[in-house]
Amino acid sequence: MKRISILGSTGSIGKNALRVIAANPNRFSVEYLTAGHNADLLIEQALNFQPKTIAIADKKQVAAVQQSLKPYHIEVLDGKQGINEIAAKQDVDLVLNAIVGSAGLEPSYHALQAGNDIALSNKESLVMAGELINRLLKEKNLKLYPVDSEHSAVWQCIAGEKPENIRRIILTGSGGPFRSYPVEQFDQITPAQALKHPTWSMGRKITIDSATLMNKGLEIIEAYWLFHLPPEQMDILIHPQSIIHSMVEFIDGSIKAQLGLPDMKLPIQYALSYPDRLPVSWENTDFASIGTLTFEAPDFAKFPSIQLAYDALKRGGTAPAILNVVNEWAVYAFLEHKIKFTDIPRFVEEALSTLPIKDIPKLADILKAEQAGREFVENKLLK
């Protein structure tokens, strides 16, 4: 029985993880859960899975959660401190960090400091603090299992291969809802349009990242810290059907690809069950009905976020953290109709050219860059 802690259990990844666990009750137990604001769903999950302790970030809702769970003797913590405390609990076999955005960085750090292996969906942890996270993994001899479908695919493709035999990684992406949309009309794109992803069902923030293709840029940075290849050996390929989740090309010219339906339960289950593979009850891939798989190069001019991410990775230091945070808060501003779709990469580019960048950052430096990035967006909104 593998004991699991889920940070961000009420989000898309967290809910799918609990579906995987519910389908395998003899393999997994839920020890801890955390959520941001969705108290009703957190209460429902706690009643269904009976964790020892839960935490909710929204302090205003903690009393209601405590009252609902009082008869069941489930401890309730609150705020960022409560989530970090759960991340550091040592009576688990694996911590799944499914928190969305930069808020997931500190829980990743605390989980690793406590000596916990991590299944990581929160790509921001590596984007913002890849060097720091890698240092902790090495010092404490811990494992990090990628949950993003693209990085899970690469992980599966390189299993048993020698690192020196890898020529390049090819991260695939659907191209989002605006792959064929006229760039002249990007200024008129609405949040409702941007939230209509053609193949994946995801949370709001990552869906907008998919529309701007910033998700591909963030994934390049994440892949750099996971697989330790230079940016020149990592490519992006648009694959609208989202069946091939990524590929690895080797020095002899052969290519491995990991394929499957666009369903996050697959990479989640692989990370939770590794090194085993478990049978599933959901839909299998039917290539005859899929018919055709197509590919095209990404349009860097149409989607400047990709190049911004490459540039931030090459600059290093706190540049990726600034990229991540400014993008995140610009996305939230766009969802609230405060800025245009095209303002998102424009804010990021301006921040990277004006905010100070710290080389070889410690956690405090990264958190300082996070605050500076958030204030940058707030100041832009006031103008």
Q: Give the three-class secondary structure for 281.
A: coil
Looking at the chain, how many residues does it have? Answer: 383
Tell me the sheet residues that pair with 32. Answer: 5, 53
Q: pLDDT confidence of 2, banded at 50, 70, 90?
A: very high
Region(s) of the chain under CATH 3.40.50.720: 2-146
What secondary structure letter does DSSP report for 165? G
Closest CA to 76 of 93, 59, 92, 88: 59
CATH class of the domain comprising 151-263+283-382: mainly alpha
Across 78-109, b (16+ Cβ under 10 Å) vs e yields beeebbbbbbbbeebebbbbbbbbbbbbbbbb
Rounded distance between C-alpha atoms, residue 44 and residue 60, angstroms: 18
Rounded distance between C-alpha atoms, residue 33 and residue 205, angstroms: 21
Cα-Cα end-to-end distance for the chain:
55
Amino acid making up residue 382: L
CA angle 106, 96, 65 (to 5 degrees): 80
Rounded distance between C-alpha atoms, residue 275 and residue 259, angstroms: 18
Output the pLDDT for position 281.
80
Query: What values do phi and psi take at 290, rounded to 5?
Result: -70, -45
Q: pLDDT confidence of 116, banded at 50, 70, 90?
A: very high
Say what the pTM is: 0.94
Q: pLDDT confidence of 46, banded at 50, 70, 90?
A: very high
Which H/E stretch holds residue 78? strand 75-78
Helix axis angle, 214-227 to 124-139, nearest 10°: 10
Output the pLDDT for position 280.
86
pLDDT digits (tens, 9 = 90+) for 18-34: 999 999 999 999 999 99
Output the pLDDT for position 55.
98
Closest CA to 343 of 353, 333, 352: 333
Closest CA to 257 of 164, 153, 148, 165: 153
- Cβ–Cβ under 8 Å, residues 255 and 248: yes
Beta pairing, strands 94-97 & 2-7: parallel
pLDDT of 201 > 80? The answer is no
Pair of tokens at residue 358: 């710290």
Region(s) of the chain under CATH 1.10.1740.10: 151-263+283-382
Instruction: Compute how many other C-beta atoms are within 10 angstroms of the C-beta atom of residue 65.
Output: 23
pLDDT digits (tens, 9 = 90+) for 150-179: 999 999 999 999 999 999 999 999 999 999
The single residue listed with the structure tokens 């035999």 is: 165
Average pLDDT over residues 350-358: 97
Output the pLDDT for position 200.
75
Given the candidates 3.40.50.720, 3.40.1260.10, 3.40.390.10, 2.70.170.10, the CATH classification of the domain at 2-146 is: 3.40.50.720
The single residue listed with the structure tokens 């009252």 is: 67
Instruction: Compute how many other C-beta atoms are within 10 angstroms of the C-beta atom of residue 184.
Output: 7
| DSSP string covering 135-150 | HHHHHTT--EEE-SHH
Beta pairing, strands 166-173 & 234-238: parallel
Output the pLDDT for position 278.
94
The single residue listed with the structure tokens 């610009």 is: 330
